[in-house]
């Protein structure tokens, strides 16, 4: 039983490491014409919505794990997006 719990802890930990911060992912994927305020939080919400829409054919257990990861990441993304908001506003206004 101990081996199984250690294995699951390792899987969950590696899942968190592989996900990365949604704020960084949103900024690296967006072009200058698509810059917005709080892109990391918006990405977390949109990815969670996609999981439970009809366009997702993922198994239910995967949807559950991904939802937990996005939910845990959301406070960190909102904090990072708040700190970076002045820079985002500058980039949005400079690109116009």
- Of the pLDDT bands very low, low, confident and very high (cuts 50, 70, 90), residue 2 is low
pLDDT averaged over the chain? 80
pLDDT of residue 86: 93
CA 7, CA 52: separation in Å to the nearest integer? 27
Burial tier of 43 (Cβ tally within 10 Å: 0-12, 13-18, 19+): buried
Domain positions in the chain? 2-94
Q: Rg of the chain over CA atoms, in angstroms?
A: 16
* Rounded Cα–Cα distance for residues 44 and 73 (Å): 8
pLDDT, tens only, 17-58: 555 578 888 888 866 667 888 998 898 898 888 888 777 777
Please tell me the predicted confidence (pLDDT) of residue 33. 63
- Please tell me which of 1-10, 14-23, 65-74 the model is most confident about, judged by mean pLDDT: 65-74
């Amino acid at each position: 039983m101990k081996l199984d719990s250690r294995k699951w802890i390792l899987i969950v930990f590696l899942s968190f490491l592989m996900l990365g911060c949604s704020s960084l992912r949103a900024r690296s994927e967006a072009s200058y014409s698509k810059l917005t305020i709080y892109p990391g939080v918006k990405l977390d919400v949109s990815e969670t919505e996609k999981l439970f829409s009809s366009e997702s054919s993922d198994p239910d257990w995967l949807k559950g794990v991904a939802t937990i990861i996005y939910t845990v990441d959301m406070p960190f993304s909102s904090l990072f997006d708040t700190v970076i908001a002045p820079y985002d506003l500058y980039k949005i206004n400079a690109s116009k």
